[in-house]
Chain A
């Protein structure tokens, strides 16, 4: 079945360092969404990418969708302690078909 893998599974960074998580799908996606889940919280929507090669920015966060629409990345510049949490991609691959990635847990050391 449809699989969406994320790497790394865990990442510890010093505050101020950059962070990147990668999302890879086994099949071509129609679009991809990114969510953030704080410890003890629920997933919160960050952004949606639809077009091949699309790049979007939100302050220190940069999101990319691969040309083949099978992979995506989230890059955080100069991490802050407020960035702590687990980041999930969610790949959409048909009408109401969605598979969440395995998640990357980010820990920021002050």
Chain B
């Protein structure tokens, strides 16, 4: 059973398009995250959701919007795609508690904007 899954695995699209990436976790975790990993392999946190409430919103363009229909899902919607959005996007989840718990990452979605 896949703990954290993402779809699609690859996404090739043109500038100006709108696209979504889906993420689901079956671990019963309370917190989910979205990360962007660029060509230099830097991992930047974009968003996290806890019990359907946005609790971290890094300085990402407002073209990016996370949507959580329920605790097990956190989707990423991107409007007006730009060349610089090309990257690998990882979804992750973790338990909620006094101390940070380990994060479980999905397999990633490689987005290519042409």
Expressed in whole angstroms, the Cα–Cα distance for A96 and B104 within the complex equals: 15
Expressed in whole angstroms, the Cα–Cα distance for A96 and B50 within the complex equals: 9
Expressed in whole angstroms, the Cα–Cα distance for A44 and B55 within the complex equals: 23
B105 lies within 8 A of A100 (CB): no
Expressed in whole angstroms, the Cα–Cα distance for A31 and B92 within the complex equals: 19
Indicate if A20 sits at the interface (CB-CB under 8 A): no
B-side interface size class: 20 to 34
A100 lies within 8 A of B45 (CB): yes
Q: Chain B's nearest CB lies how many Å from the CB of A100?
A: 4
Number of chain A residues whose Cβ lies closer than 8 Å to a Cβ of chain B: 25
What's the A-B contact tally at a CB cutoff of 8 Å?
Answer: 53
CB closest chain-A residue, reference B104? A45
Contacts of A103 in B (CB 8 A): 41-43
Contacts of B106 in A (CB 8 A): 42
CB closest chain-A residue, reference B90? A42
Q: Chain B's nearest CB lies how many Å from the CB of A74?
A: 16
Expressed in whole angstroms, the Cα–Cα distance for A88 and B44 within the complex equals: 12
Contact residues, B7-57 vs A (CB, 8 A): 31, 35, 41-45, 48, 50, 55-56
Expressed in whole angstroms, the Cα–Cα distance for A31 and B104 within the complex equals: 17
Contacts of B45 in A (CB 8 A): 98-100
- Give residues in A with beta carbon < 8 Å to B: 30-31, 33, 35, 37, 41-45, 48, 50, 86, 88, 90, 92, 95-100, 102-103, 105
**10 A-B contacts (beta carbon < 8 Å):** A31-B99, A37-B41, A43-B92, A44-B105, A48-B99, A95-B55, A96-B100, A100-B42, A100-B43, A102-B42
If A48-B102, A96-B48 are given as contacts, then 15 extra A-B residue pairs at C-beta distance below 8 Å, sorted by A number, are A33-B100, A35-B103, A42-B90, A42-B105, A43-B43, A44-B105, A45-B103, A45-B104, A90-B103, A96-B31, A96-B50, A96-B56, A100-B43, A100-B44, A103-B43
